[in-house]
């Protein structure tokens, strides 16, 4: 084998891997059935281009008749598809979407980062019965994710950023807090307001965190 062929056979350098583009897959919460709301969230994500980030939106379909495991498997396929193209992938889940982000991390520890925005991924007893009755996939996720958390170890939890509002009004204050993760409180009040605030005013923080987390893989 020649010296040139040996160089070609060598694995990519850490510096080259660090230069891989970052893809953020955003998973909306229960409002993912509302086209106008998802459109607004897409507009917020478009501003992330200035940070050198590629974005995509994945709708779980929380009020559909799908199974939570099937939808998270589809999300994982999306993640792996981007990775096969040479991208690093972070999943950002808002509200109910946080459960999907954690489910992907449990199944795929190589995920660059998981970011939870006012996440609701446990304690179904805190929610009114009509909310669960009209969102079967969400109801299923609230029972499945606590078990999946047992599979997310300290190294993976260190690549989780959980953002919560100062006063949510919908999600109890302790619900978004994940032991072992980086838990931060935003200076904003309200649940829906906090999601918009994070997409616009915490974009740089999220991207910086995701890139640093990816570098530790």
Domain ranges of the chain: 20-215
| Fold (topology level) of 20-215 | Rossmann fold (3.40.50)
Q: How far apart are CA 33 and CA 64, in angstroms?
A: 9
Q: Report CA-CA distances (Å) from 188 to 38, 94, 160, 168, 205.
A: 21, 15, 21, 9, 15
Closest CA to 56 of 28, 84, 95: 28
Q: Has residue 4 got a pLDDT over 70?
A: no
Local confidence band at 19 (pLDDT 50, 70, 90 cut-offs): confident
pLDDT of the residue at 18: 59
Alpha helices in 47-135 (DSSP H): 68-84, 97-107, 129-133
**Residue 56 contacts residue 24 (beta carbons within 8 Å):** yes
Kindly report, residue by residue over 160-185, the tens digit of the pLDDT.
Answer: 999 999 999 999 999 999 999 999 99
Closest CA to 116 of 61, 153, 159, 53: 159
Neighbouring residues of 38: CB distance < 8 A, sequence distance ≥ 6: 28, 31, 32, 57, 59
Kindly report, residue by residue over 65-121, the tens digit of the pLDDT.
Answer: 999 999 999 999 999 999 999 999 999 999 999 999 999 999 999 999 999 999 999
Mean pLDDT of the region 117-143: 95
Question: First and final CA of the chain: distance in angstroms?
Answer: 31
Q: Has residue 156 got a pLDDT over 90?
A: yes
pLDDT of the residue at 8: 36
User: What does DSSP assign to residue 174?
Assistant: T
Average pLDDT value over all residues in the chain = 92
Local confidence band at 5 (pLDDT 50, 70, 90 cut-offs): very low
Q: What is the CA radius of gyration of the chain?
A: 18
Q: Has residue 57 got a pLDDT over 50?
A: yes
């Amino acid at each position: 084998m020649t010296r040139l062929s040996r160089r070609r056979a060598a694995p990519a350098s850490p510096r080259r891997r660090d230069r891989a583009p970052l893809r953020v897959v955003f998973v909306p919460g229960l409002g993912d059935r509302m086209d106008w709301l998802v459109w607004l969230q897409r507009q917020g994500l478009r501003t992330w281009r200035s940070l050198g980030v590629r974005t995509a939106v994945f709708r779980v379909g929380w009020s559909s008749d799908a199974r939570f495991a099937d939808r998270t498997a589809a999300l994982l396929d999306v993640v792996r598809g981007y990775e096969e193209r040479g991208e690093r992938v972070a999943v950002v889940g808002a509200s109910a979407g946080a459960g999907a982000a954690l489910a992907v991390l449990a199944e795929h520890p190589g995920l660059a980062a998981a970011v939870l925005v006012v996440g609701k991924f446990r304690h179904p007893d805190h929610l009114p019965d009509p909310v669960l009755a009209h969102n079967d996939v969400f109801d299923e996720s609230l029972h499945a994710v606590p078990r999946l958390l047992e599979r997310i170890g300290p190294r993976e939890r260190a690549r989780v950023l959980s953002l919560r509002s100062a006063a949510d009004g919908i999600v109890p204050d302790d619900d978004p807090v994940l032991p072992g993760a980086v838990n931060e409180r935003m200076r904003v009040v309200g649940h829906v307001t906090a999601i918009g605030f994070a997409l616009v005013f915490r974009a740089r923080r999220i991207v910086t965190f995701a890139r640093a987390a990816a570098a530790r893989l």
